Every structure is written in C-alpha cells, then in structure tokens.
Amino acid sequence: MSRQLAIIVTLVAGVLMVVSGFIKPTQGWGEDAAEWFNILAAMAFVLGAANLAKVHLSKISSRDAGWGFSAVTLLAFAVTLAVGLFKVGVNPMPAFPDVPMSGGKDAEGSAFWWVYTYVLSSITATMFSLLAFYVASAAFRAFRAKNTEATLLLVAAFIVLLGRTFAGVVLTGWIPADSDWAFLRFENLSTTIFEVFASAGNRAIIIGIALGVAATSLKIILGIDRSYMGSGD
Amino acid sequence: MNQKKTWTIILVLAAVLLAIRSFTGPGMAKVFVEDQRFAFKQAGEKEVDGAMKPAFEAVAPGTEGAIEWTTESEVPPRAYYAAEAASPGQSAIHLSTSRTIGVWVAALLTLFIFSFLYRDNPLYKFAEATIVGVSAAYWGIVGFWDTLMPKLFGAIVPAIVTANFMPGLKEEYNFWILVPAALGIMLLCRLNRSVAAVSVIPLAFIVGTTSGLKFVSYVESDLLAQTASTMKPLLVAAPALATGAADGTANGLSLGLSIKQALIFVGVVSGLVYFFFSVEHKGIVGKTARVGIWYLMITFGAAFGFTVMGRIALFAARCEFIFDDWLWLIDPTEKRVVVEAAVASVNALLPVLPGVGL
Amino acid sequence: MSFIDRLDAIDRRWIFLMMACAVAIPIIVIGLTGARFPEVPGPTSTATFETIEALPEGAKVLFSFDFDPASAGELQPMANAFMRHLGQKKAKVYCQTLWASATPLIEETLKKCLLTQSPDLVYGVDYVNLGYQAGNEGVMKVISTDYKQSFPTDAKGTRTTAIPMMEGIENTSSFDLIMVVSAGYPGSKEWVQYVVSPTLGKGKPIQLVAGVTGVSAPQLVPYFPTQMQGMLAAIKGAAEYEYMVNEVIKAANPGKPLPPAYMEAQRRMAPQLFGHLLMVGLIIVGNTIFFVKRRQSRSGSAMKAAA
C-alpha cells in the first residue's frame, strides 16, 4: 500500500515541478512544493545526526572494535549539539535585548562559533589538503605515456601545470607577446586547452549527462524506475 | 621499540622547540580581543504586527536597570602592542584565553591529520572521530535554527517562537506547513525499524520533486542552451577593436576565433559520437569517435592540472595557518612586527648555534 | 637492485616530504621577504572583472557563498577580492549561502573586506547577510520567483521585509548581478541551471559571475560566456582578479600603500609554482623509469627469443 502511495506521490510531485515552470497558475503550487522540499532537507540533517548517534551508541554498547573512537565521536557530537541548541555564549540581538536566545547561533565569540572556527574548519581544511600529497604520489606512479591517448592527457596536464604559474612565463617568455607565435607561450596554450579543448570535451559530457538525467527523471516520475524504494523493484 | 624511541625523540624535540618559540620574542599563537559593551533599557512600547511590544534604547553601560553584555572582537596583535605602548596595563585590548587555546587546538588537530601521511595512527583516528561527531551535530543545528525554526515551528507555533527565539519573525500561522511536518516525522521513522516503511512516502516526495526539477533544468540548461552555444557560425567576425574599424563596427573575419569555434564544434560532435554506443565504432564513426577520445583525454589532462592546482592551494593555506597564526614565524599580512619577532627568535638560539644570528 | 629499480620502489613518504618542502619553504620565504610574481590576467578573469566593473553605482548584487572551510584555502581569496571590488563599486551587497557551514565565512568576509575598506556602510542599507537555507536547488527554485519566501529572516533573525535594502527585491531577476563562489554541489552549475538558464532569451537574462575550485573549473568552462559572464578558475584565477581589483583600489587611493592582506591570492602563487614544478618533475622521473624499464624488458625478451 505504502509503495503504491509512494509511486503516486512521486508522480504528482514530479509532474508539478515540471508543469510549474511552464504554466503560470501552477507556479505557486510549485513554489510551495519546493518549500516543503526545503523543510524536508533540513529534517534530513536532523535524521542524519540522530542516525549517527544511534550507530555509535550501538557500537559502544556492544564494545565493537574501535568503540573508544565512537565515544570520541559521540562526545564531540553531544558537545556541539548542546552548545548549538542552547546558544551557549550568544548575546541577544540589540533590537531585542529582553530575549536572551534571539542572537545568532554562530555569533563571534560563542561556543558554537569556537567549535566551527577551531575544530571543524581546521580538520576539514587539512583533510582536503592531504590530497595534494596523494596526487603527487599518483603522478609519479601512474601517470605514464603508454599510448597516444595517455600521452595527450600527459601533455595537456603538463601545459596546464606550467602555464598556470610563473614557470610558463619564464620558459616561453622569449616568444614576443605580440608576435604570430605568441599562441605557443605556455600561458596561452594553457588558456587554449582550457577554453577550447576542455570546453568542447566537457560540453560533450554535459550534453550526454543531460540526456541521461532527463531519461532517468522521466523513468522515476512515471514509476518505471523504483530503485529509490529499496530492493524488490 | 626502536620506532617508539624515534617517536619519543621527535616529540620531545618538537616540544622543546615549541617551548623556545613560545618564550622568545613576543611568543606565538596568541589571540587578542577588544571588548565592546552594550547596554539597553526599556523606553516605552512599540506596535509590532498589531501587538504592543517593549521598545528598547541604547544607554551608557552601567545604567541602572539596563540589560548589559560584553562582546569581544578579534584585533591583530599589533593593535595590542600599540595600546600597551600608549597606555601600559590597559584592559580594553587583552589576551583571549579561549581563542588562544582555540589556535592551539586547531594547530594540534591539523598536525594530527597530517600524521596520517606517515601512517594511520590513533591521533589521526581521534581527529577523524571528532570531525564526524562535530559535523553531524553542526549540520543538524544549522538546519534546526536556520530552516526548521523560522519555517516550520515559526508557522505552527509562531507565538512561542517569536517570544523566545526569533522575535524578528512575523507572527503568522501557516497550517499547510503541517504537510511537510508530517512528512518530516515520517522521515524520522527510519530510525525505528518497526515503522521505517512509512519513510518511503517522504522519500518519494523528495525523489519526485528532485526529478521534476532536474528534468526541466538539465533539458533547458545543459541540453538546449549548450547545444545552442555549439551550433554557432564557424566563421567568426573579428571584434571591432581588433580590426580598428573607425565606425566601431565589427568587420572582417578573425582566423583565430573561427579556428577556435571550429575546434569546439568538432570536439563536441566527436565527443558525442564517442558516447553513442548504439552504433558500432567502425569506419567514419570509429574515426570520429577516436577524435572524440583525444578531446576527452586533453580534457582529463586539463582537469588533472586544475585539480593539482586546487589541492596545492589548500595545503598552502594550512601551511600559512601553521607558520603565521600558530608559530608566528611569518607575518604576510603584517598582523605583528614580524622582523623583531624573527630576530628575537634567532638571537635566542645563539648560545645553541654559535655564529648564527640576525 | 639497480638505481632505476630503487627509484621505482621509492617509499611514497619521500614524495610526501618533497611536496611538503616544495610548498612550505616558498611560503616561509615569501612570508619573510614579501616578494610576489607578476600576474597577467587571462580571458575568464578579465571577463569577470569587466562584468563587475560595468555595474553602476548602487547596483544590487546577490553574493552566494557556496563553499565551506575545507575549500576556503582556494576560494576565500576570491570571495575577499569580490567583496573589495563590490565595495569599490559602492554596490548593495546581498550575501547568502546554500552551504550549511558557510555563514561564519560570510560574516568574516564582510568584516575583513567590506567594512575595513568602507567603515561607514550601514547594515541593512548597504549590505546584508541573509544567511543559510536548506534545500539546495529547492531554494533556487523558490528564490527565482519569490526571494523572501525562502529567506524569511536574515542571519541575525531580522524579518526580511523589515530590511530597507530588501525593498524592491522580488526574485533573482531583481538583482543586477549574481556572484557565486562555489566548491561543488550546490554551486555555480546549479545557479546556471536553475536560476540563469530559465531567463535566457526572455527579456533581460540574469548576469552571473563565479569563482570556482580547480576541480570544478573545467566542468564549468562550457557555460562561459553564454550562461556565465565570468569565471575565476582556481587560485590562479583568484590571483589574476585580485591583481586587477588592486589596480582599481590603488587608482582610487593614490599615494596610499596597498595593505598586504590584499595580496592573499598573489602570495599563494609562489608555493603553487614550486608545487607544480615538483609535479612536473615527478611525472618526468616516473616516465623515465617507465621507458627505461620497458626497454630493459624488451631487450630481455629479445635476448631470450634469440637464445
């Protein structure tokens, strides 16, 4: 029963979003549906947070391997949740000084802001920066000119790497910038690769993806693709 | 055992160097703040949305019956030095203990993450476990205060929300919001296996809405508009500026722009032919597809180059944090008087490294 | 074990160490000497600069901060330069984000770039922080027709309808320019798809400029210049644009030295240079090993066949 209802909900929601873009009287309905979608997206954050707590609590209670780190996760989760929910260290809005919780949750100096600035920012930024090292290692081990295609890839990468820094200027700076051969300067070759070849290649990919997304969306709206409901369909 | 010894030596050495750095010159990793005091007192009432609400006016701090608080805003260390030079022992600008600890926490967590480059270890795992918990709670809190509070609770129980949490919000009911509220509760049912089946309804709504939105936008933006951008005249007129036309109009053909347009056209068509698997890639189709592969390879090469650029930029930013905000070794934005600090640090090492100094 | 074999089997941690030195040493040197490399702006950065430069005084600009601290190393310099340029143009700045962890970044950028440059600007009259709303493309869909429905309050909790500069803002078409600094999804691509493209060929299309990460730049270049009037690609794009904005600031304040904080992106081009050179070197060495070993194995098989 709920699966049949789900198919109807998908159909109605999908068709509404499509027609609201073209038929003026349905525009308001489309906006409302999108607004409900936005509220559900925020609910999904809460669901994600609750699910994380549930998973790690079960890990701790069953003393699974690495349960100590689950405890760290839960502690970090609980502290962040508490300081954010109760707006610890947040002052009221100057326009409403009689409402203590009227200030912004992440006002400078608050506990939630502290967690964001010194914990969340530093860890996420560092984690992303680790990839600089792995990409270097991969370039040494796997970036080999084995055939024509691989050589093209390698040469393009070379030109972009040199042309996007001062190295390109130093290496090909002897070619006069106003001569007919100026396009051979690394910085110009890099621009050409970016604006012509990468643009064309990515445009082909974009058009291909657009066709795929359009087909998949139609299949979902019409109830042909029901994979989002889980196994069995 | 050998490895343990090596690590102990490295850690002790790092601690000694940090201690030297902390106590030489102006030290390191200190955050200074300036206090700003606010005071408000009720001055009658004002009408808001048809109801009378208390009106407040700013008064001098210390006024009797006023609601007061103090905020701290970060100032560069040089502002503290200047204030101290002008008036020794002043208290308007002072060291912030919580923020200074924060810089140390951030620096240590940064090093914990970098320690993974050597090998997986408990310090890395600790930082990783911390970020998982912090991120989940952070997103939940942001969703709660920024979206659920004004749009959901603010529409269902507006009086409570405006009185206690968001006094700036318009106090009005919207019972249609009960629909996403119900869907939201059904979504939360996923947490309990016995009622998890009902969560398929909000999921269907999310999937249906997304599909409808994506169908229109991908066709409009990525299929039609991108095709239109490709199907342009291959012979491109030179811009007026390049030809130096006296009347400012474009005239004459631009060889460079025409070649560029032709190359883009060939690249898009051959790339699409490569992705078209319903026809066997033989003969002219095969040759065109091969050109498409070449274009794609150049595209991936460029993507690699740009990715490298991005990742190095992120690492450079972390290095700047370590050297500038934490260790106070460099001062690219002139937050401190770096030359004096560097000279003091090197000179402090003189007994250790004879002959070296600034 | 030959030298080539040893080189081929080198522990990856040596490569990590080389990368660390290639980036860290130039940062220290640049930090102590203040040296910079000259910048020659490329076409996409120039187009971005010219689009903003063409704005009239008091133009309404929607500035979406669609990134988080993880990408701030690459994108914050762009956001800073954008904000300084808007300050120079005396534009009305409407900040918002579709990324949950970006609201503090908006506050910091406003404080460090807009208010230090123009301290007389008034909140709600000259600039506003509308904060975050969940929903990604759902938010874009709603703000395309009714901006205030999706953002009922600003980040501080003030009702949007009570903010003076929100008067006359009905939807995204009410802005003279949309500026996006984005790290991924939702980001510049979605702005093009859901906000800009529906207005193409219908009266006045929405103008959009974007600052994007190196990873997403090649995927977004096909939208330039038809669906996106300007694009800053990676830190190099940021450095080029920052250089152009600094020239404007210098011209507006003759004789006044430029604060070093205004050269954040240009400063980062030094570690970038050495990092790239290391990558090029690693690729060359890796390929040399590959070709030497291939030749060795071919000659080995030829000898076996001859035997």
Distance of CA B298 to the CA centre of its chain: 30
The CA-based dihedral angle spanning residues A215, A216, A222, A225, taken in that order and rounded to the nearest 10 degrees: 140
pLDDT of B355 above 50: no
Which of A146-150, B245-249, C55-59, C120-124 is predicted least confidently? Answer: B245-249
Q: CA-to-CA distance for B338 and B187, rounded, in angstroms?
A: 55
- Note whether A42 contacts C: Cβ–Cβ < 8 A: yes
Widest CA span in chain B: 92
Q: Where residue C100 falls among pLDDT bands split at 50, 70, 90?
A: very high
Q: Which pair of tokens denotes residue B197? A: 């089946």
Q: CA-to-CA distance for C170 and B157, rounded, in angstroms?
A: 27
CB atoms inside a 10 Å sphere around CB C293: 14
| DSSP letters for B184-230 | HHHHHGGGSGGGGGGGHHHHHHHHHHHHHHHHHHIIIIIIIIHHHHH
- Note whether A227 contacts C: Cβ–Cβ < 8 A: no
Q: What is the mean pLDDT of chain A?
A: 92
- Note whether A18 contacts B: Cβ–Cβ < 8 A: yes
Q: Determine the pLDDT at residue B350.
A: 47
* Inter-axis angle of helices A121-129 and B97-114, nearest 10: 20
CA atoms within 13 A on the CB side of B94: 11
Q: What would the mean pLDDT of A140-164 be, rounded to a whole number?
A: 93
Q: Determine the pLDDT at residue B223.
A: 96
Contacts of A168 in chain C (CB under 8 A): none
Q: What fold does the segment set C43-258 form as a domain?
A: Rossmann fold (3.40.50)
Q: One-letter amino acid identity for C86?
A: L
Q: Where residue A233 falls among pLDDT bands split at 50, 70, 90?
A: very low
Contacts of A116 in chain C (CB under 8 A): 69, 101, 104
pLDDT of C6 above 80: yes
**Helical (H) or strand (E) element with B36:** strand B32-48
Q: Cα angle vertex B144, ends B141, B145, to 5°?
A: 85
Q: Which pair of tokens denotes residue C2? A: 């030959």
B267 and A210: CB-CB below 8 Å?
Answer: no
Q: What would the mean pLDDT of B203-217 be, rounded to a whole number?
A: 95
pLDDT of B167 above 60: yes
pLDDT, tens digit (0-9, with 9 covering 90-100), for B3-39 = 678 878 888 888 888 888 888 778 888 999 999 999 9
Neighbouring subunits of A (3+ Cβ pairs under 8 A): B, C
A166 and C146: CB-CB below 8 Å?
Answer: no
pLDDT of C276 above 90: yes
Q: What would the mean pLDDT of C58-87 be, rounded to a whole number?
A: 96
Q: What would the mean pLDDT of B206-231 be, rounded to a whole number?
A: 95
A136 and C236: CB-CB below 8 Å?
Answer: no
A136 and C279: CB-CB below 8 Å?
Answer: yes
Sign of torsion over alpha carbons A115, C266, A195, A170: negative
pLDDT of B250 above 80: no
Interface test with C, best of A19, A165, A169, A185 (most C CBs within 10 A): A165
Contacts of C135 in chain A (CB under 8 A): 34-35, 37-39, 41-42
The DSSP code for A179 is: S
| DSSP letters for A158-203 | HHHHHHTSHHHHHHHTTS-TTSTTGGGSHHHHHHHIIIIIHHHHHH
Q: Determine the pLDDT at residue B353.
A: 41
**How is chain C split among helix, strand and coil, in percent rounded to 5?**
60, 10, 30
pLDDT, tens digit (0-9, with 9 covering 90-100), for A59-108 = 999 988 889 999 999 999 999 999 999 999 999 998 899 999 999 899 99
Q: Determine the pLDDT at residue B344.
A: 54
A138, A134, A130, A166: which is closest to A154 by C-alpha? A138
Q: Which pair of tokens denotes residue B145? A: 């205060």
pLDDT, tens digit (0-9, with 9 covering 90-100), for B300-321 = 999 999 999 999 999 999 999 9
Distance of CA B291 to the CA centre of its chain: 39
Helix (H, G, I), strand (E, B) or coil at A226: coil
- Note whether C44 contacts B: Cβ–Cβ < 8 A: no
Contacts of C199 in chain B (CB under 8 A): none
Q: Determine the pLDDT at residue B340.
A: 52
pLDDT, tens digit (0-9, with 9 covering 90-100), for C225-269 = 999 999 999 999 999 999 999 999 999 999 888 888 999 999 999
Q: Where residue B47 falls among pLDDT bands split at 50, 70, 90?
A: confident
Cα end-to-end span (Å), chain A: 14
| DSSP letters for C244-294 | HHHHHHHHHSTTPPPPGGGGHHHHHHHHHHHHHHHHHHHHHHHHHHHHHHH
C152 and B317: CB-CB below 8 Å?
Answer: no
Separation in Å, CA of B302 to nearest CA in chain C: 7
Which of C14-23, C252-261, C269-278 is predicted least confidently? Answer: C252-261
Cβ(C67)–Cβ(C254) under 8 Å? Answer: no
Q: Where residue C298 falls among pLDDT bands split at 50, 70, 90?
A: confident
A125 and C72: CB-CB below 8 Å?
Answer: yes
- Considering only CB atoms, B305 lies closest to which of A16, A52, A157, namely A157
Q: Where residue B252 falls among pLDDT bands split at 50, 70, 90?
A: confident
Searching chain B, which residue's CA lies closest to the CA of residue A38? B147
Q: Determine the pLDDT at residue B356.
A: 36
Helix (H, G, I), strand (E, B) or coil at B37: strand
pLDDT of B180 above 60: yes
CB atoms inside a 10 Å sphere around CB A231: 5
pLDDT of B247 above 60: no
Contacts of C287 in chain A (CB under 8 A): 143-145, 154
- Note whether C132 contacts B: Cβ–Cβ < 8 A: yes
Q: Determine the pLDDT at residue B354.
A: 40
Give backbone dihedrals phi and psi of B35, rounded to 5 degrees, phi first: -85, 145
CB atoms inside a 10 Å sphere around CB C69: 23
The DSSP code for C206 is: P
Which of A98-112, B42-56, C77-91, C282-296 is predicted least confidently? Answer: B42-56
Rg (CA), chain A: 27
pLDDT, tens digit (0-9, with 9 covering 90-100), for B256-307 = 889 999 999 999 999 999 998 888 989 999 999 999 999 999 999 999 999 9
pLDDT, tens digit (0-9, with 9 covering 90-100), for C22-53 = 999 999 998 888 778 888 899 999 999 999 99
- Note whether B204 contacts A: Cβ–Cβ < 8 A: yes
A136 and C278: CB-CB below 8 Å?
Answer: yes
C193 and B217: CB-CB below 8 Å?
Answer: yes
Q: Determine the pLDDT at residue A111.
A: 96
- Note whether A41 contacts C: Cβ–Cβ < 8 A: yes
Separation in Å, CA of A20 to nearest CA in chain C: 10
Q: What percent of chain A has pLDDT over 90?
A: 79
Find where tokens 């038929």 sit: A23
What ipTM is given for this predicted complex? 0.94
Beta bridge partners of B46: B53
Interface test with C, best of B49, B120, B309 (most C CBs within 10 A): B309
Q: Determine the pLDDT at residue B241.
A: 55
Q: Determine the pLDDT at residue B251.
A: 62
Q: CA-to-CA distance for C101 and C37, rounded, in angstroms?
A: 33
Interface test with A, best of B200, B259, B273 (most A CBs within 10 A): B200
Strands C60-66 and B67-75: unpaired
Interface test with C, best of B46, B116, B306, B346 (most C CBs within 10 A): B306
Separation in Å, CA of B310 to nearest CA in chain C: 5
- Residues 151-170 (C) with a CB less than 8 A from some CB of B: 152-153, 156-159, 161-162
Q: What would the mean pLDDT of C1-21 be, rounded to a whole number?
A: 90
Contacts of A85 in chain B (CB under 8 A): 141, 144
**C117 vs B99: which has the higher pLDDT:** B99
Cβ(C100)–Cβ(B138) under 8 Å? Answer: yes
- Note whether A214 contacts C: Cβ–Cβ < 8 A: no
